[in-house]
């Protein structure tokens, strides 16, 4: 299975840190945030990785190269400075990702989720990893049923972690350009084509400088 790390966002809430550094290159525990993903993917024997770039995008290839330092192979998917949003960015990269299901992880989260436990071939169009709602997002995103289906609404609402396995067919009918992933997932949910799980381990949404500093302290280097 190939993987895609989403790294093209502007990181407005992280300013001024992201005025001169892309958010995935901000340091956590002595290394760029995105390096933690590369190490975790390699540990799961996922060695072919696509990374999209947007804001200050030249810095990412300059820092990571072809991935050999981490024992992986990186293919780059450059986007315009304003980026293509999650859906448009993945759609543009489909030619690099191939025809089989692929892993997607947001470049601005940190987690100890073991990527090897993801289903390599989900029964539906997508499999989402959900987490308990953090204080800054108490309403959650989607609902998880007792039989492992993800629905747009329901009693057990959880937050989408930014970790998923997607089939290319999820993007059927899309055209190149800027568009979000959410509507595609909701359409698939309505058709009963999205499975999911709730992960109880560590997961951090690095959305503000304060949360970045807190994570750095938590990992023992602050």
CATH code, 87: 3.90.550.10
pLDDT for 16 equals 67
Q: Interior CA angle at 105 toward 100 and 111, to 5°?
A: 135
Structure tokens at 112: 């100890």
Count of the separate structural domains present in the chain: 1
- Which of the four pLDDT bands, split at 50, 70 and 90, describes residue 94? very high
Tell which wins on pLDDT, 83 or 166.
166
Lowest mean pLDDT of 52-56, 141-145, 174-178, name the range.
52-56
Distance of alpha carbon 164 from alpha carbon 109, whole angstroms? 13
How far apart, in Å, are the Cα atoms of 196 and each of 145, 172, 189?
9, 21, 11
Lowest mean pLDDT of 29-33, 62-66, 169-173, name the range.
29-33
Percentage of the chain exceeding pLDDT 90: 74
pLDDT for 222 equals 44
How far apart, in Å, are the Cα atoms of 141 and each of 5, 138, 157?
21, 9, 7
Residues 133/157, Cβ–Cβ less than 8 Å = yes
How far apart, in Å, are the Cα atoms of 180 and each of 58, 86, 157?
23, 5, 21
Cis, peptide link before residue 152, omega less than 30° from 0: no
pLDDT for 161 equals 97
Distance of alpha carbon 48 from alpha carbon 72, whole angstroms? 6
In eight-state DSSP terms, residue 36 is: H
How far apart, in Å, are the Cα atoms of 177 and each of 4, 85, 126, 166?
18, 9, 21, 19
Q: Is 9 helix (H, G, I), strand (E, B) or coil?
A: coil
Domain range enclosing 65: 3-218
């Amino acid at each position: 299975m190939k993987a895609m790390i989403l790294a093209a966002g502007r990181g407005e809430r992280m300013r001024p840190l992201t005025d001169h550094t892309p958010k995935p290159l901000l340091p956590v525990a002595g290394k760029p945030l995105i390096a933690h993903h590369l190490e975790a993917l390699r540990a799961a024997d996922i060695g072919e990785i696509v990374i999209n770039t947007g804001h200050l995008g030249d810095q990412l290839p300059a820092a990571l190269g072809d991935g050999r330092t981490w024992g992986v192979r990186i293919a780059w998917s450059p986007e315009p400075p304003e980026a293509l949003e999650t859906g448009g960015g993945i759609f543009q990269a489909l030619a690099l990702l191939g025809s089989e299901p692929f892993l997607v992880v947001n470049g601005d989260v940190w987690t100890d989720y073991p990527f090897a436990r993801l289903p390599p071939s989900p029964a539906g169009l997508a499999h989402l990893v959900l987490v308990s709602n953090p204080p800054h997002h108490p309403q959650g995103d989607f609902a998880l049923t007792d039989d492992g289906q993800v629905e747009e609404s329901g009693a057990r609402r959880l937050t989408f972690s930014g970790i998923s396995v997607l089939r290319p067919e999820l993007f059927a009918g899309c055209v190149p350009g800027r568009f979000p992933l959410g509507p595609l997932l909701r359409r698939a949910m309505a058709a009963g084509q999205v499975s999911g799980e709730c992960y109880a381990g560590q997961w951090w949404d690095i959305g503000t400088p304060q949360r970045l500093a807190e994570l750095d302290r938590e990992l023992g280097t602050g």
